[in-house]
Amino acid sequence: MTRCMKTLIALTTAAISGRVAPVLAAVPPVGSSPAPQARGEYELIAQNDLGMHCMNEDFSELVILPPYNTVRAQVIQRRREPNVVTEGLTLRYAFPSNARSADKTNFWKYCPQIFGVALPPNVGLTGHGMTGTLDALPRDGVWEVSGIPITPFDDRGRLQPYPLVTIIAEKDGVEVARTQTVVPVSQEITCNLCHVTPGISTSTDILRDHDRLHGTSLEQSKPVLCAACHADPALGAEGNPELPMLSHAMHAAHADRMDQSGLDNVCYACHPGIRTQCQRDVHMAGQVECVDCHGGMAQVGDSSRMPWLEEPTCGSCHARTGFEFEEPGKLFRFSRGHGGVACLTCHGSPHAITPTLTAVDNVQSMRLQGRPGTINDCLVCHTRQPEDNFRHRLFN
């Protein structure tokens, strides 16, 4: 057994037995009563688009992903027949315990070399910062802010991969609705489980291996953005069309080694992770694992698959008479259903479909209906209990 495999198995075993635990900042409860809040004219519900975003811990040598997080929100005007609202309001966001990022990472120092742009402190690649407003996307029926440069550390320096953002909807300067939702982020990209050559950093070890195997000179070109050569749809990076995409290269190159590791979840060797728990939702509680939806590493690394854009669908497993799931040609996170309501709005983020194993991901459903889980209380949006049957589809 290789040193890499021994390390992986030891760390995983320790995590499962409770010896490796995340040092998390406490998340203050959003109201101690299980009763839902009093309802006004508008309801505001927001979700992260992926359920977990990754970022590098260090940007001085090798870069996979920058700090970049996205939140989508919907405003429902509560009526007997509710309206989805995308105009006439201003939606503002802020992080109560995480107002800054620039002193928690060296991203801003190396951003000009990596991405060719010098950003002001605490401002991300899309121009959005740690406070600001959401943009209306009328065609999708949602509001969105992308590229929030949040890190997994609060302003007291404590690890917090599940920070809460507060979003407030205003009409003519007056608050009409507010919510809180998790904006998850992790640096748990654990290349150091295997790349541990004594005397050099993990990133140098990776670059040196790449140079040796592929005849490149990346070690002399730091900082290196992987997506500069290997296309990555997550960044909108086209890369070199003659080279495999980043997801293909990573999964295909490591598939055989990980398959021989004996780990219950090989995905957590690289993805967040044993401590962070990217997958922490109702599926996980039901013993549904990453590979049950995404397939094994060889399947994910198949060059015929478009990373980030070709993903499993709810309809692959779920079936119910009269129910429809994702819109044709759209992923779950971009789809809408009942009355134009986004799938995210009622069900939660991918990998954090409610009810989740982490209490903080349930705060929004607790606020709305007094219990965790899918938003299925009609009176959250309707002012009167509908008499007709519920329709789980976009068009009635």
In a domain? residue 108: yes
In a domain? residue 379: no
- Report the candidate in 23, 13, 10, 5 with the shortest Cα–Cα distance to residue 275: 23
* Burial class of residue 40 (count of CB atoms within 10 Å of its CB; 0-12, 13-18, 19+): exposed
Each residue of 102-117: pLDDT tens digit?
999 999 999 999 999 9
Q: Which of 50-54, 80-84, 164-168, 233-237 has the highest mean pLDDT?
A: 164-168
Q: Kindly provide the b/e burial profile for residues 263-291, where b requires at least 16 CB atoms within 10 angstroms of the residue's own CB.
A: beebbbbbbbbbbbbbbbbbbbeeeeebe
How many structural domains is the chain composed of? 1
Each residue of 323-343: pLDDT tens digit?
888 888 898 899 988 888 999
Helix (H) or strand (E) holding 4: helix 3-17
Structural domain boundaries, residue 139 = 1-16+41-369
Which residues are paired to 72 by β-bridges? 47, 144
* Start-end of H helices in 236-342: 246-259, 282-285, 290-294, 297-300
Determine how many CB atoms are found less than 10 A away from the CB of residue 4.
16
Give percent of the chain above pLDDT 70. Answer: 90
In a domain? residue 25: no
How confident is the model at residue 12, as a pLDDT?
Answer: 35
Coil/strand/helix, residue 340:
helix
In a domain? residue 103: yes
Tell me the whole-structure pTM to 2 decimals: 0.88
- Report the candidate in 224, 193, 231, 190 with the shortest Cα–Cα distance to residue 210: 224
In a domain? residue 313: yes
How confident is the model at residue 394, as a pLDDT?
Answer: 62
In a domain? residue 21: no
How confident is the model at residue 264, as a pLDDT?
Answer: 76
In a domain? residue 28: no
